[in-house]
A and B are shown apart, each in its own frame.
Chain A
Amino acid sequence: MPKRKLDPLPAAAFQILLALAEGDLHGYAIMRQVEEQTAGKVRLGPGTLYSSIQALLEEGLIEEVDPGAAPELSDAPRDRRRSYRLTGAGRKVARTEAQRLAGILRVARARRILKGDYV
């Protein structure tokens, strides 16, 4: 199925893809990871988080990790929560989106929108 809901890729979905790029995570961990990678600017609430996860699942960009086959999770004892993993397609979509943003960024630099050299 061609991507409809995720084209263009919403910011939340992109953040989730980026968060999962480093390894499998469950919902709350994704939320924390996104918070961390945006320096606290984006805190995904449960509605946005799980709706985005569902959309990503439906588009095949992420997949559910087989429960029980996730021993590397840190707080395992009380964990029957589902974890998610980036698929090949998901990685490709994330890369495309990052390249698109990089293109925009280049233009912004050339037009001197971004002052200084901190980006």
Chain B
Amino acid sequence: MSEKIFACLLRLYPARFRQQYGAEAMGLLRDRLRDERGIARRVRLWFDLLLDFATGAPLAYRNSYAMVSASPVPHGAAGLPEFRVLDQEPLRPESVVLGSVLAFGALAAFVLVMNHASGYHPLASLRGLAHKSVTQSDAEQAAEKLEEKVRTANALQSCGFDKLELHPGNIGYVKLNFFGEPARCAEMADAVMERLNDTDAIIFDLRDNRGGFPAMVQLMADWLFDHPVPWYNPRATSPQESVTQSPVPGSRLANKPVFVLTSRRTFSGGEHFTYDLKTLNRATIVGETTSGASHGSGPPPEGTIPVWEGSGVAPDVRVNDADALATAEKLALGAIGKH
């Protein structure tokens, strides 16, 4: 037993030290074990060995062992264990393969954990929803396609979609921090809106929205109507009224209750979306009066009609921005009859 422990201890010495003196050191230990019997002497022996390790190992590492190769190395002398040293052999191909497989496995496990660890992962929650609704194979394919479209949270966030979650009571929750460029983000926005088809109510969280592209504001609103409705654009230079491109093929959102969360930080495009949905009676606005900047920070251009410039858009239900989500969820549950 003592010898085994000591053999382990020896492994911590430099390889060339073990090669040169391993057998002798074991021999010395055997001699001491033979000569020193009794509990007190054994305890003292182990105390010695540990102390010796603390002082001897650094010494052993300081030696160069330059002359070692010149002198013969006793291998397996008198039946002593041989100290063959692995780290002096070249790496075998099997070891490299095994190492790669293990590393890859660890990486795969890490990715898996990162994807499924948090309950409110932006996409995981709604992904489950998509599977639930699938009944036909082509619908399944559509869901697969959709899945690809909305694959990464990064892509979502690059288009302003900070969160996409399914909240209790089958309420779709979208936190949108800006309205992205349609050329780049239209597909993403459509995918998000399509996901919301299977929810019972929708909450757009614009409390941290800092504006963006008016065309994207309208693109998202298009999904919320089953027929074209007048759509006011504060930046349009002509008085000619535009209308929404409704209905959007595949949209089932027209009859779902919509709630928009606002704060005094909600800005520009965020206010645009809020104002239009409010005046069209399409959404319930919950939160605080918006910042009142229809054209960003500058003055409105010539010929445009500033509606909420300076005053901001007032909410329908006035609560602190911190309480807006909870309030809207309560209202949404009431609206869909799930008290």
Contacts and interface: CB of A to CB of B under 8 A. Distances in A.
A57 interface: yes
B43 interface: no
Contact of A48 (B59, B63, B66): B59
Contacts of A54: 17, 20-21, 60, 63, 65
A63 to B, nearest CB: 10
Interface string A1-15: 000010000100000
B146 interface: no
B17 A58 contact: no
B52 interface: yes
A43 B48 contact: yes
B53 A58 contact: no
Nearest to B25: A46
B66 A58 contact: yes
B17 A50 contact: yes
B62 interface: yes
Contacts of B60: 47, 50-51, 54
A80 B23 CA distance: 11
B57 interface: yes
Interface residues of A, number: 26
Contacts of B77: 80
Interface in B20-54: 20-21, 24-25, 27-29, 31-32, 48-49, 51-53
A28 B31 contact: yes
A31 B30 CA distance: 13
Contacts of B53: 45, 47
Given A54-B17, A54-B21, A78-B78, A45 B56 contact: yes
A52 B25 contact: no
Contacts of A64: 71
A81 B27 contact: yes
Contacts of B98: none
A82 B24 CA distance: 8
Given A54-B17, A58-B66, A45 B52 contact: yes
B136 interface: no
Contacts of A47: 13, 25, 52-53, 55-57, 59-60
Interface of B is mostly: helix
B63 A46 contact: no
Which has the most chain A C-beta neighbours within 10 Å: B13, B31, B59, B74? B59
A112 B62 CA distance: 39
Contact of B78 (A27, A51, A52, A80): A80
Contacts of B65: 54, 58
Contacts of A10: 59
Contact of B56 (A26, A27, A46): A46
A13 to B, nearest CB: 9
A50 B26 CA distance: 11
Given A27-B24, A47-B13, A81-B24, A52 B59 contact: yes
A61 interface: no
B17 A51 contact: yes
A58 B24 CA distance: 18
Given A46-B25, A54-B21, A5 B63 contact: yes
B86 interface: no
Given A51-B63, A54-B60, A46 B52 contact: yes
13 contacts: A5-B63, A45-B48, A45-B51, A47-B25, A47-B52, A47-B60, A48-B56, A49-B52, A51-B56, A51-B63, A54-B65, A55-B63, A64-B71
Interface of A: 5, 10, 26-28, 31, 43-55, 57-58, 64, 78, 80-82
Given A27-B21, A47-B52, 15 more contacts: A5-B62, A26-B24, A27-B25, A27-B27, A28-B32, A51-B56, A52-B59, A53-B21, A54-B20, A54-B60, A57-B67, A58-B66, A80-B74, A80-B77, A81-B27
